[in-house]
A and B are shown apart, each in its own frame.
Chain A
Amino acid sequence: GIQVEQSPPDLILQEGANSTLRCNFSDSVNNLQWFHQNPWGQLINLFYIPSGTKQNGRLSATTVATERYSLLYISSSQTTDSGVYFCAVGAQGGSEKLVFGKGMKLTVNP
Protein backbone atom coordinates (compact mmCIF):
# COMPACT_ATOMS: atom_id res chain seq x y z
CA GLY A 1 0.00 0.00 0.00
CA ILE A 2 0.89 3.65 -0.18
CA GLN A 3 3.52 4.91 2.27
CA VAL A 4 3.54 8.34 3.89
CA GLU A 5 6.60 9.88 5.51
CA GLN A 6 6.62 13.11 7.44
CA SER A 7 9.65 15.14 8.41
CA PRO A 8 10.94 16.31 10.75
CA PRO A 9 9.40 14.07 13.45
CA ASP A 10 9.75 16.81 16.06
CA LEU A 11 10.37 20.53 15.96
CA ILE A 12 10.89 23.09 18.69
CA LEU A 13 10.56 26.78 17.82
CA GLN A 14 10.52 30.14 19.48
CA GLU A 15 7.35 32.16 19.04
CA GLY A 16 7.54 34.19 15.85
CA ALA A 17 9.69 31.74 13.92
CA ASN A 18 8.68 30.13 10.63
CA SER A 19 8.61 26.41 9.91
CA THR A 20 8.18 23.98 7.04
CA LEU A 21 6.74 20.50 7.43
CA ARG A 22 7.24 17.97 4.66
CA CYS A 23 5.15 14.99 3.59
CA ASN A 24 6.44 12.47 1.06
CA PHE A 25 4.19 9.78 -0.38
CA SER A 26 5.05 6.73 -2.41
CA ASP A 27 2.32 6.63 -5.06
CA SER A 28 -0.13 8.80 -6.97
CA VAL A 29 -2.85 10.34 -4.86
CA ASN A 30 -6.10 12.12 -5.48
CA ASN A 31 -6.68 13.06 -1.86
CA LEU A 32 -4.27 14.81 0.47
CA GLN A 33 -5.18 16.53 3.70
CA TRP A 34 -3.19 18.26 6.45
CA PHE A 35 -4.51 18.12 10.01
CA HIS A 36 -3.59 19.58 13.38
CA GLN A 37 -4.44 17.33 16.31
CA ASN A 38 -5.42 19.34 19.35
CA PRO A 39 -4.51 18.28 22.92
CA TRP A 40 -7.88 16.52 23.29
CA GLY A 41 -7.28 14.38 20.21
CA GLN A 42 -9.54 16.00 17.65
CA LEU A 43 -8.16 16.33 14.14
CA ILE A 44 -8.65 19.85 12.86
CA ASN A 45 -8.72 20.26 9.08
CA LEU A 46 -6.05 22.59 7.81
CA PHE A 47 -6.03 21.95 4.07
CA TYR A 48 -7.46 19.64 1.45
CA ILE A 49 -4.73 19.91 -1.18
CA PRO A 50 -4.16 17.03 -3.61
CA SER A 51 -2.30 19.49 -5.85
CA GLY A 52 -1.43 23.17 -6.07
CA THR A 53 -1.05 25.84 -3.41
CA LYS A 54 -3.44 27.19 -0.81
CA GLN A 55 -3.15 29.77 1.93
CA ASN A 56 -5.16 30.37 5.07
CA GLY A 57 -3.84 33.15 7.25
CA ARG A 58 -0.40 32.27 8.59
CA LEU A 59 -0.62 28.78 7.13
CA SER A 60 -0.05 27.75 3.56
CA ALA A 61 0.44 24.45 1.79
CA THR A 62 1.83 23.26 -1.52
CA THR A 63 1.50 19.84 -3.10
CA VAL A 64 3.61 18.79 -6.06
CA ALA A 65 1.76 15.66 -7.05
CA THR A 66 4.15 14.71 -9.86
CA GLU A 67 7.05 14.66 -7.39
CA ARG A 68 4.95 13.08 -4.61
CA TYR A 69 5.40 15.56 -1.82
CA SER A 70 3.53 18.23 0.05
CA LEU A 71 4.75 21.07 2.25
CA LEU A 72 2.98 22.87 5.08
CA TYR A 73 4.33 26.31 5.96
CA ILE A 74 3.65 27.98 9.30
CA SER A 75 4.74 31.59 9.51
CA SER A 76 5.12 33.74 12.61
CA SER A 77 4.39 30.73 14.83
CA GLN A 78 2.37 31.15 18.01
CA THR A 79 2.21 28.98 21.12
CA THR A 80 -1.27 27.89 20.05
CA ASP A 81 0.30 26.27 16.96
CA SER A 82 1.82 23.63 19.24
CA GLY A 83 0.56 20.11 18.74
CA VAL A 84 0.86 17.25 16.30
CA TYR A 85 0.50 17.80 12.57
CA PHE A 86 -0.55 14.96 10.31
CA CYS A 87 -0.43 14.52 6.59
CA ALA A 88 -2.91 11.99 5.20
CA VAL A 89 -3.31 10.76 1.65
CA GLY A 90 -5.80 8.77 -0.34
CA ALA A 91 -4.42 6.71 -3.18
CA GLN A 92 -5.95 6.85 -6.64
CA GLY A 93 -8.70 4.27 -6.80
CA GLY A 94 -8.99 4.24 -3.03
CA SER A 95 -9.04 7.82 -1.88
CA GLU A 96 -11.76 7.17 0.67
CA LYS A 97 -9.23 5.38 2.85
CA LEU A 98 -6.87 7.95 4.31
CA VAL A 99 -3.36 6.73 5.05
CA PHE A 100 -1.71 8.85 7.72
CA GLY A 101 1.91 9.72 8.32
CA LYS A 102 3.31 9.29 11.81
CA GLY A 103 2.84 12.97 12.55
CA MET A 104 5.15 15.80 13.48
CA LYS A 105 5.15 17.20 17.01
CA LEU A 106 5.57 20.96 17.02
CA THR A 107 6.38 22.84 20.21
CA VAL A 108 6.33 26.63 20.11
CA ASN A 109 7.88 28.25 23.15
CA PRO A 110 6.98 31.79 24.28
Chain B
Amino acid sequence: EAGVTQSPTHLIKTRGQQATLRCSPISGHTSVYWYQQALGLGLQFLLWYDEGEERNRGNFPPRFSGRQFPNYSSELNVNALELEDSALYLCASSLAPGPGQYFGPGTRLTVT
Protein backbone atom coordinates (compact mmCIF):
# COMPACT_ATOMS: atom_id res chain seq x y z
CA GLU B 1 0.00 0.00 0.00
CA ALA B 2 1.41 3.37 -0.98
CA GLY B 3 2.06 5.86 1.78
CA VAL B 4 1.41 9.56 1.87
CA THR B 5 3.13 11.30 -1.02
CA GLN B 6 4.13 14.93 -1.30
CA SER B 7 5.44 17.08 -4.11
CA PRO B 8 7.71 18.75 -4.81
CA THR B 9 10.53 17.48 -2.60
CA HIS B 10 12.24 20.85 -2.61
CA LEU B 11 10.95 24.27 -3.54
CA ILE B 12 12.92 27.51 -3.76
CA LYS B 13 11.02 30.77 -3.94
CA THR B 14 11.73 34.45 -3.60
CA ARG B 15 10.20 36.61 -0.89
CA GLY B 16 6.78 37.86 -1.97
CA GLN B 17 6.07 34.96 -4.32
CA GLN B 18 3.47 32.22 -3.83
CA ALA B 19 4.20 28.56 -3.15
CA THR B 20 1.95 25.58 -3.79
CA LEU B 21 2.62 22.26 -2.08
CA ARG B 22 0.75 19.06 -2.86
CA CYS B 23 -0.18 15.97 -0.87
CA SER B 24 -1.83 12.66 -1.70
CA PRO B 25 -3.15 10.70 1.28
CA ILE B 26 -3.07 6.97 1.84
CA SER B 27 -5.83 5.31 -0.16
CA GLY B 28 -9.04 5.31 1.89
CA HIS B 29 -7.93 8.12 4.20
CA THR B 30 -10.24 11.12 4.14
CA SER B 31 -8.53 13.42 6.65
CA VAL B 32 -5.45 15.37 5.62
CA TYR B 33 -3.30 17.48 7.92
CA TRP B 34 -0.52 19.97 7.29
CA TYR B 35 2.30 20.72 9.73
CA GLN B 36 5.24 23.11 9.60
CA GLN B 37 8.67 22.27 11.00
CA ALA B 38 10.71 25.45 11.09
CA LEU B 39 14.17 25.68 12.61
CA GLY B 40 13.89 26.49 16.27
CA LEU B 41 10.09 26.35 16.33
CA GLY B 42 9.47 22.63 16.27
CA LEU B 43 6.54 20.90 14.62
CA GLN B 44 3.39 23.01 14.50
CA PHE B 45 -0.11 22.15 13.33
CA LEU B 46 -1.19 24.21 10.32
CA LEU B 47 -4.44 22.92 8.82
CA TRP B 48 -6.84 19.98 8.88
CA TYR B 49 -9.12 19.01 5.99
CA ASP B 50 -11.80 16.37 6.08
CA GLU B 51 -14.35 15.51 3.40
CA GLY B 52 -13.33 18.54 1.37
CA GLU B 53 -13.76 21.07 4.15
CA GLU B 54 -11.27 22.97 6.30
CA ARG B 55 -12.06 21.76 9.82
CA ASN B 56 -9.39 23.44 11.92
CA ARG B 57 -6.36 25.65 11.55
CA GLY B 58 -3.42 26.44 13.75
CA ASN B 59 -2.05 29.80 14.74
CA PHE B 60 -0.94 30.90 11.26
CA PRO B 61 -1.86 33.99 9.23
CA PRO B 62 -4.50 33.80 6.47
CA ARG B 63 -1.84 33.80 3.74
CA PHE B 64 -1.50 30.11 4.61
CA SER B 65 -4.44 28.42 2.95
CA GLY B 66 -5.31 25.27 1.13
CA ARG B 67 -7.97 22.97 -0.12
CA GLN B 68 -8.91 19.34 -0.36
CA PHE B 69 -10.06 17.87 -3.64
CA PRO B 70 -12.81 15.28 -4.22
CA ASN B 71 -10.16 12.53 -4.39
CA TYR B 72 -9.01 13.67 -0.89
CA SER B 73 -5.65 14.98 -2.12
CA SER B 74 -4.76 18.39 -0.82
CA GLU B 75 -2.69 21.41 -1.62
CA LEU B 76 -1.23 24.04 0.66
CA ASN B 77 -0.79 27.56 -0.67
CA VAL B 78 1.45 30.12 0.96
CA ASN B 79 1.03 33.64 -0.40
CA ALA B 80 3.33 36.63 -0.02
CA LEU B 81 6.21 34.43 1.10
CA GLU B 82 8.41 35.67 3.92
CA LEU B 83 11.90 34.50 4.83
CA GLU B 84 10.58 32.86 8.00
CA ASP B 85 8.31 30.62 5.94
CA SER B 86 11.39 28.58 5.11
CA ALA B 87 10.66 25.21 6.67
CA LEU B 88 9.86 21.56 6.14
CA TYR B 89 6.15 21.17 5.43
CA LEU B 90 4.75 17.79 6.36
CA CYS B 91 1.44 16.35 5.27
CA ALA B 92 -0.32 13.55 7.14
CA SER B 93 -3.45 11.54 6.60
CA SER B 94 -5.69 9.39 8.75
CA LEU B 95 -8.58 7.03 8.24
CA ALA B 96 -10.75 8.90 10.69
CA PRO B 97 -10.28 12.38 12.18
CA GLY B 98 -7.55 12.38 14.82
CA PRO B 99 -5.90 9.11 15.77
CA GLY B 100 -3.25 7.34 13.76
CA GLN B 101 -1.83 10.05 11.52
CA TYR B 102 0.66 8.88 8.90
CA PHE B 103 3.14 11.36 7.51
CA GLY B 104 4.60 11.95 4.08
CA PRO B 105 8.25 12.70 3.30
CA GLY B 106 7.73 16.46 3.35
CA THR B 107 8.44 19.43 1.11
CA ARG B 108 11.38 21.59 2.02
CA LEU B 109 10.54 25.21 1.17
CA THR B 110 13.34 27.74 1.01
CA VAL B 111 12.50 31.43 0.69
CA THR B 112 15.33 33.70 -0.42
Tell me if B8 is interfacial: C-beta within 8 Å of chain A.
no
What 1/0 flags go to B79-91 for Cβ under 8 Å of A? 0000000001010
* Contact of A43 with B99 at beta-carbon distance under 8 Å, contacts A98-B33, A100-B42 already known: no
Closest residue on chain A to residue B35 by CB atoms: A98
The answer on a CB contact under 8 Å between B98 and A96 is: yes
Contact with A41, one of B31, B102, B105 (Cβ below 8 angstroms) = B105
A90, B19: Cα distance in complex, Å: 29
The answer on a CB contact under 8 Å between B48 and A97 is: yes
The answer on a CB contact under 8 Å between A41 and B100 is: no
Task: List the interface of chain A (C-beta within 8 A of B).
Answer: 30-31, 33, 35, 40-45, 48, 50, 86, 88, 90, 94-100, 102-103
30 contacts between A and B (CB under 8 A): A30-B98, A30-B99, A31-B99, A33-B100, A33-B101, A40-B105, A41-B88, A41-B90, A41-B105, A42-B105, A43-B90, A45-B100, A45-B102, A45-B103, A48-B99, A95-B98, A96-B31, A96-B50, A96-B55, A96-B94, A96-B98, A97-B45, A97-B48, A98-B35, A98-B43, A98-B92, A98-B101, A100-B42, A100-B43, A102-B42
Task: List the interface of chain B (C-beta within 8 A of A).
Answer: 31, 33, 35, 37, 42-45, 48, 50, 55-56, 58, 88, 90, 92, 94, 97-106, 108
